[in-house]
C-alpha cells in the first residue's frame, strides 16, 4: 500500500497557552492537489510551519511519505522532498534573480561556498537555475536585481525556487495574494503545470482561482478541521457556507 505523502495525526500547537492547531488529523495522498481554506487566523500558516519544522508542535505527529518527521529539522525534511513558499516574500532583494535561485539550490544541497569544490559544481547550479527561470518565463530577468522586478514576478520566482528543488511535496502559502487578475492567471498556469509526482498543498483565499486547481479541500476554523473531502462536497457543505462564505 502506498504511504500518504503527508499524514498529520492529532496535531496540537499552543502559543503561550493559546491554541492555534487543535487536534488536526489529515491524510494527503501522493499526487493530490489539496486546498486549505479558512478565515484569517484559522491556523493555516501555523499548520504549514509545523509540517516544515519551523514550529515544533505541542503534541501530535507528522509523517512524510510514511516517515515520522515530527522531531526532524526543516533541513532534514527538505531532504525528504519537502519544499514551500511563504505568505510573505523571503527573497534577497540585492541579489540577482538567478543568484536567488542558486542560493536556494545551495541551501538544499548544504553547499556553502567552498574553494575545494570543482568550479563545474557552481556552473551546474547556474545552469539549473537558468533552466528553471526559462521554464517559468523569467529567463529574460535572470540578471535583474530581485528588488527591481515586479511583485507578481517575485511570487513567480518563489514558486520557481521551490520547484527547482524538485519537491515531492510542495506547500504554497497564498501564492495568489496581492496579484492582478493577469498575474493570477500566470501563477495558476504555473501551478497547473506542476508534474503529478509532486503533491501540492495550497493555502489560498482566492477561491475563484484556487478551486480550479484543487481536488480536495480542507476547511480550518479556529485551528480545527471543520470540513474535509472532495472539493465539491466541501463547497456544498452547509458548514463551509456558514463559516467561510458567510451565508
Ligand X SMILES: Nc1ncnc2c1ncn2[C@@H]1O[C@H](COP(=O)(O)OP(=O)(O)OP(=O)(O)O)[C@@H](O)[C@H]1O
Q: Which residues bind Mg ion (CB under 5 A)?
A: 44-45, 87
Whole-angstrom Cα distance, residue 207 to residue 244? 10
Residue 98 or 179: which CB sits closer to ligand X? Answer: 179
Q: For residue 28, how many other CB atoms are within 10 A of its CB?
A: 19
For 7-30, give the DSSP string.
EEEEEEEEETTEEEEEEEEEEE-T
Residue 37 or 125: which CB sits closer to Mg ion? Answer: 37
The site string for ligand X over 2-41 (x = CB under 6 A, - otherwise) reads -------------x----x-----------------x-xx
Whole-angstrom Cα distance, residue 163 to residue 132? 8
Residue 33 or 44: which CB sits closer to ligand X? Answer: 44
Contacting ligand X within 60-89 (CB under 6 A): 87
**Is residue 56 within the footprint of ligand X (CB under 6 A)?**
no
Exactly one of 34, 45, 176, 209 binds ligand X (CB under 6 A); that residue is 45
Exactly one of 33, 44, 184, 231 binds ligand X (CB under 6 A); that residue is 44
Q: How far is the CB of 176 from ligand X (least distance, A)?
A: 13
Q: How far is the CB of 137 from Mg ion (least distance, A)?
A: 27
Q: Are 82 and 64 in contact (CB under 8 A)?
A: yes
Q: For residue 63, how many other CB atoms are within 10 A of its CB?
A: 17
Q: How far is the CB of 38 from ligand X (least distance, A)?
A: 6
Residue whose entry in the numeric block shows the C-alpha cell 491556523: 43
Task: Give 210's contacts (C-beta < 8 A, 6+ positions apart).
Answer: 35, 37, 176, 202, 204
**Is residue 42 within the footprint of ligand X (CB under 6 A)?**
yes
Query: Residues 167, 179, 207, 23: is their CA dihedral positive or negative?
Result: positive
Whole-angstrom Cα distance, residue 26 to residue 87? 21
Q: How far is the CB of 96 from ligand X (least distance, A)?
A: 30
Residue 21 or 216: which CB sits closer to ligand X? Answer: 21
Footprint of ligand X (CB under 6 A): 15, 20, 38, 40-46, 87
Amino acid at each position: 500500500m502506498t504511504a500518504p505523502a503527508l499524514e498529520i495525526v492529532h496535531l496540537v500547537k499552543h502559543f503561550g497557552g493559546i491554541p492555534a492547531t487543535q487536534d488536526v488529523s489529515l491524510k494527503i495522498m501522493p499526487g493530490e492537489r489539496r486546498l486549505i481554506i479558512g478565515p484569517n487566523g484559522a491556523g493555516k500558516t501555523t499548520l504549514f510551519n509545523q509540517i516544515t519544522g519551523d514550529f515544533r508542535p505541542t503534541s501530535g505527529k507528522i509523517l512524510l511519505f510514511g516517515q515520522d518527521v515530527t522531531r526532524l529539522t526543516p533541513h532534514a525534511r527538505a531532504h525528504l522532498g519537502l519544499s514551500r513558499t511563504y505568505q510573505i516574500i523571503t527573497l534577497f532583494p540585492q541579489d540577482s534573480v538567478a543568484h536567488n535561485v542558486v542560493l536556494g539550490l545551495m541551501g538544499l544541497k548544504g553547499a556553502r561556498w567552498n574553494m575545494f569544490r570543482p568550479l563545474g559544481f557552481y556552473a551546474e547550479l547556474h545552469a539549473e537555475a537558468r533552466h528553471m527561470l526559462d521554464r517559468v518565463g523569467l529567463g529574460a530577468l535572470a540578471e535583474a536585481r530581485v528588488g527591481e522586478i515586479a511583485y507578481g514576478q517575485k511570487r513567480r520566482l518563489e514558486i520557481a525556487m521551490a520547484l527547482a528543488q524538485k519537491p515531492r511535496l510542495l506547500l504554497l502559502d497564498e501564492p495568489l495574494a496581492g496579484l492582478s487578475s493577469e498575474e493570477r492567471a500566470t501563477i495558476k498556469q504555473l501551478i497547473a503545470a506542476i508534474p503529478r509526482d509532486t503533491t501540492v498543498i495550497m493555502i489560498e483565499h482566492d477561491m475563484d482561482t484556487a478551486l480550479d486547481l484543487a481536488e480536495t479541500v480542507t476547511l480550518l476554523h479556529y485551528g480545527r478541521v471543520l470540513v474535509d473531502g472532495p472539493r465539491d462536497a466541501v463547497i456544498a457543505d452547509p458548514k463551509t457556507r456558514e463559516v467561510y462564505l458567510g451565508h
